[in-house]
Structure 1
Amino acid sequence: MASTRLRTAEKYISHFATLDKALLESLLADSYRHEFAPISLNAPGPFTKTGFMAHGAGLADIMNGFPVTAKEHFECEASNSVVVWATSEAHFREELMDPGISREEWEYRGEYVFMFTMDEGGEKIVRTVEFLDSASTKERLLGLMARARANLEKVQGKGIDSLKHVE
């Protein structure tokens, strides 16, 4: 049977499938801290619980989900921590995927390592260090996210049909 800390880490990983805000909020301690690595990516953060919830809401604006699949996990009872090696794929909102790039180019798959530190009971996460797939994130994901956000602004400003003519 899986430990409480491992079940908590699994729930966190599962929230990405639908970007479930309520589930994420229930797993994070009030003192939560989230850091992205490596520093060479110049990623946003570090985030408090409130900041990370806002970051997740921003993803939900442009994606239906960002399913993460655990490949392996490593649990350490002494440090009350779990490390998860995982893969992901971004599911951008259909209405934000303009025809200026191919459907295949909108598909993004990445690889990650999450390091979770839990509270004493293992039910809340107090800290996450998330190692991003640096080359792929920098070369593809950030550009796709920026394009989707720009398309979202167009949709909000001019109506959904505005993207049919974007090149």
Structure 2
Amino acid sequence: SPLHGIAITFLAAFNDLDGSAHVALRTPDCQHFFAPASLNLVSPKSNEEFKAHLTNLHAVMEHFPVAAKEIHVHDSGPNSQVIIWATGTPAFRAEAIDDEEDWNVTNEYMFILDFDESQKIKRIVEFLDAKTTGRL
């Protein structure tokens, strides 16, 4: 399905923290929400705010490969949705870490992608691994 392919492209854009690749998949007014609220992350982010967020991450990470464990596509026209269960292992820049073991982590993520009728992402809810993300 085209939505499955978009989900794969969405995850691949994290590898190089490519904000432009992410925004290309989205509607101009797409909002990106982070959860859980206990992480106290600024949410929602506009496309430009999300690009800036990735730029900030790129200052401390070389790459951020994210791989799907499961992708569930619910294709129902203007109310289509994709749910992704994924893992990601950030590759931190050497100058950004103190002790390699403390920074060698694999996180789990859940992404809910809501689509418009043109198969652009109009809303993203990203659930982060609260235990390890909070530590970083």
Normalising by structure 1, we get a TM-score of 0.75
Structure 2, unaligned runs of 5 or more: none
Paired position in structure 1 for 2:123: 127
Per-residue CA deviations over 1:107-164 (Å, capped at 9, x if unaligned) read 1210010000112121x211100011112211x22xxxxxxxxxxxxxxxxxxxxxxx
Paired position in structure 1 for 2:66: 68
- Matched letter for residue 16 of structure 2: T
- Matched letter for residue 55 of structure 1: H
Paired position in structure 2 for 1:84: 84
More displaced stretch, 16-25 vs 66-75? 16-25
Q: In 1, are the aligned partners of 2:67 and 2:86 still within 8 Å (CA)?
A: yes
Paired position in structure 2 for 1:47: 45
Normalising by structure 2, we get a TM-score of 0.91
Q: Mapping of 1:18-167 within 5 angstroms?
A: 18-78=16-76, 79-97=79-97, 101-122=98-119, 124-138=120-134, 140-141=135-136
- Matched letter for residue 50 of structure 1: E
How far did 1:24 drift? 1.5
Structure 1, unaligned runs of 5 or more: 142-167
Q: In 1, are the aligned partners of 2:87 and 2:109 still within 8 Å (CA)?
A: yes
More displaced stretch, 13-22 vs 62-71? 13-22
- Matched letter for residue 4 of structure 1: P
Higher radius of gyration, 1 or 2: 1
Distance 1:96 1:102 in 2: 10
- Between Structure 1 and Structure 2, which shows a larger proportion of helix residues? 1
Runs of 4+ in structure 1 off by over 4 angstroms are none
Distance 2:56 2:72 in 1: 30
Q: For this pair of structures, how many residues does the alignment match?
A: 134
Paired position in structure 2 for 1:12: 10
